Amino acid sequence: MSGFRVVEAGPLSLLQDGGRHGWQHLGVSSCGPLDPHAAAWANRLLGNPWGTALLEIALGGVVLECVGDCWVALCGADLPISVDGESRPNWSRFLVRAGQRLELGFARSGQRAYLAVPGGLRAEPVLGSVACQVREGLGGLHGDGRPLQAGDRLGGAAGDFLRAASVPWPFVPDYRQPKALCVLPADGVSQAVLEHFIGRPWRLSPQSDRMGARLQGEPMHLPPSEWSQGVANGAIQIPPDGQPIILQADRQTMGGYPVLGWLHPLDAGRLAQTPAHGELRFVVGELARAQAELRAFYRFFGRLVQAM
């Protein structure tokens, strides 16, 4: 059997897959990786289909002992990677032999790394997914939403590749370079409100989590919502304190705060890789262009593209 024994689990390491879909009407969020771009590349390097179960590692600090020869792929945050003390490149696949230790240091830039194995990490699905949702106690290795812990076993196939490989450099983001994130405005939002949001920098609050990215800056206000409504990934809510919240993978499924717009889905990864107190800037995007870009992304990574 191939796989790893967890020696050190890091601050927050979670099993994730394509998400837990079809349950939002019952209040169950979809989950999935916060950075779909890095997760998709980790799986692609190993020939895994879209949404294959992998490990989302927040900040780093993970040590794994290989219990059987296993190919792995790592993409995402820039962190030191070594096998028995020998450095390995990020955004790459490489072989780890039985008995060797794979060590991931703490991130120098970015916040989350994704570790994939051939065929995906093995766990029993809960409501059709192994995605770990700590708040609701769903998914993960044991089905109860627990993050990875020392002593856990990560099982997967060994894989059979002729050589190591890396993601082509144009597709590897530099998380040290700030990039304006694209916003798709909601109908009825005034130009003045929109210009307030995009016309100044914001800071990412350390109170952010997988449920939502909280922004800090000059307060803004929208007319109060009269009823609760369904919300999607990337919805930008304006609560009474005027500090925007961008909903992420573990969001609630309904919300009563007014919505300014939505973050472009392909910018979710840049948001997820922003450190606490990091600066964020926004630009206005165009819906048709965003849809075309998202379809192209899904096609490249082999996800079924449905009508949008």
Reference 4, options 72, 73, 68; nearest CA is 68
Do the Cβ atoms of 76 and 35 come closer than 8 Å?
yes
Q: Decide: pTM greater than 0.85.
A: yes
% of the chain residues with pLDDT over 90: 81
* Alpha-carbon radius of gyration of the chain: 19
- Indicate the pLDDT class of residue 296, thresholds 50, 70 and 90: very high
| Topology classification of domain 181-300 | Cyclophilin (2.40.100)
Q: pLDDT band at residue 307, thresholds of 50, 70 and 90?
A: very low
Q: If you average pLDDT over residues 31-52, what whole number do you get?
A: 97
Which tens digit of pLDDT belongs to each residue from 253-263?
888 889 999 99
- The alpha carbon of 186 is separated from its chain's Cα centroid by a whole number of angstroms, namely 24
93-106 pLDDT, tens digit each: 999 999 999 999 99
Asked if residue 111 has pLDDT above 70, the reply is yes
Tell me: pLDDT of 182 over 60.
yes
Per-residue pLDDT reduced to its tens digit, 79-95: 999 999 999 999 999 99
The answer to whether 219 touches 241, Cβ cutoff 8 Å, is: yes
Kindly list the domain boundaries of the chain, sorted by start residue: 2-171, 181-300
Predicted confidence band of residue 305 (pLDDT cuts 50, 70, 90): low
Residues of the chain with pLDDT > 70, as a percent, come to: 97
36, 268 contact by CB (below 8 A):
yes
Which residue in 101, 28, 35, 9 sits closest to 273, CA to CA?
35
Mean pLDDT to the nearest integer, 180-191:
92
Q: How far apart are CA 175 and CA 251, in angstroms?
A: 24
Which pLDDT score, from 0 to 100, does residue 156 have?
87
Residue 109 buriedness (CB in 10 A; 0-12 / 13-18 / 19+):
middle
Long-range contacts of range 168-177, CB-CB < 8 Å, 24 or more positions apart? 171/41, 172/91, 173/37, 173/269, 173/270, 173/273, 174/109, 175/77, 175/78, 175/109, 175/110, 175/270, 175/273, 175/274, 176/109
Provide mean pLDDT across the span 184-205: 92
Give the per-residue pLDDT at 177.
Answer: 84
Give the span between the Cα atoms of 280 and 244, in whole angstroms: 12
Q: What does the mean pLDDT of the chain come to?
A: 93
User: pLDDT tens digits, residue range 125-145?
Assistant: 999 999 999 988 999 999 999
> What is the rounded average pLDDT of the residues 287-298?
95
232 DSSP assignment: -
The arithmetic mean of pLDDT across residues 63-90, rounded, is 96
Termini Cα distance of the chain = 42
Alpha carbons 144 and 248: distance in angstroms, whole number: 21
Going by pLDDT thresholds of 50, 70 and 90, the confidence category of residue 308 is: very low
pLDDT value for 92: 98
